[in-house]
């Protein structure tokens, strides 16, 4: 495991849980709006060892409810399955954040009962995915496979999209919603410049535009909420 960050307690990252958050290093995408650029393209890639994380968690049993594993892209990690198993053995619920590019690994950890909640980023409508993730000729099919798997899995999950003025229109979100038809929860997250992003010149939409996107998506996905405003 290549772990670049560790938040010892959060009330925000894992719905309904008091949790710790583990940030893994590395990602296969280069989204210009990524708010954790140092985890994707930074040089200081390892800050915590797996044993350090597990030691801390063993001392917080009964005080914390869960662990959120985010990144970067956690499913890039060769040791991710064994790492989650060790966390589960300590009695914690596990939330996994993923970009959906590794459906076979996602199926492995979910079908093994190692994950309690998944938050999957849907970057844009299929037609604009390559542009949005910063990868020329990006293959959308793994994303589609992950979407279909989660919708049929019975697992508690959410889809979410970070909305950037320069990349997303109301029509894009309407098209995107069709790809996640059947999902129970979809969140539109307004872009915030963390000061640690990959691209430049990116801005947020006004609330009125996000509300238009919300209405457009609700025609297909019932529960659509706005975050970040």
Tell me, yes or no, whether 105 lies in a domain.
Answer: yes
Count structural domains, the chain: 1
93 domain residue, yes or no = yes
Query: Cα separation of 10 and 14, whole Å?
Result: 8
Q: Quick one: residue 54, left, alpha or beta (phi over 0 = left, psi -120 to 50 = alpha)? A: alpha
Q: Does a structural domain hold residue 148? A: yes
User: Residue 218 domain-assigned?
Assistant: no
Distances (CA, A) of 93 to 70, 80, 81, 226: 14, 15, 14, 25
Residue 143 lies in a domain: yes
pLDDT tens across 169-185, in order? 999 999 999 999 999 99
Q: Which residue has the tokens 């009964």?
A: 62
More confident residue, 167 or 40: 167
Average pLDDT over residues 11-23: 95
d(CA 157, CA 184): 8
44 inside domain: yes
The label of the residue with tokens 């909305």 reads 163
Structural domain harbouring 60: 3-164
Q: What percentage of the chain carries pLDDT values higher than 90?
A: 88
Examine residue 210 and state whether it is found in any structural domain, yes or no: no
Task: Tell me what the mean pLDDT of segment 81-107 comes to.
Answer: 98
Specify whether the CB–CB gap between 218 and 210 falls below 8 A: no
Reported as a pLDDT band with limits 50, 70 and 90, residue 44 is low
Q: What is the CATH number of the domain that holds 72?
A: 3.20.20.70
The token pair that represents 132 in the structure block: 């949005």
Work out the average pLDDT over 63-86: 96
List pLDDT tens digits, range 195-209: 888 888 999 999 999
């Amino acid at each position: 495991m290549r772990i670049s960050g560790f938040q010892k307690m959060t009330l925000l990252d894992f719905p309904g849980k008091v949790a710790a958050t583990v940030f893994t290093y590395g990602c296969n995408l280069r989204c210009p709006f990524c708010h954790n650029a140092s985890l994707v393209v930074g040089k200081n890639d390892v800050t915590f060892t797996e044993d350090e994380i597990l030691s801390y968690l063993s001392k917080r049993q009964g005080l914390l409810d869960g662990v959120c594993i985010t990144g970067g892209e956690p499913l890039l990690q060769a040791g991710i399955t064994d790492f989650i198993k060790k966390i589960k053995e300590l009695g914690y619920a596990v939330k996994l954040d993923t970009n959906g590019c590794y459906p076979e690994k996602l199926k492995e950890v979910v079908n093994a009962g190692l994950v309690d909640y998944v938050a999957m980023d849907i970057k844009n409508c299929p037609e604009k995915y390559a542009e949005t993730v910063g990868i020329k000729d990006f293959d959308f099919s793994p994303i589609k496979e992950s979407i279909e798997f989660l919708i049929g899995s019975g697992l508690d999950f959410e889809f979410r999209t970070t909305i950037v003025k320069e990349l997303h229109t109301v029509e894009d979100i309407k098209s995107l919603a069709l790809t996640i038809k059947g999902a129970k929860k979809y969140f539109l997250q307004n872009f915030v410049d963390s000061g640690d992003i990959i691209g430049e010149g990116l801005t947020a939409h006004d609330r009125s535009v996000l509300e238009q996107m919300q209405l457009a998506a609700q025609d297909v996905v019932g529960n659509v909420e706005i975050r970040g405003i």
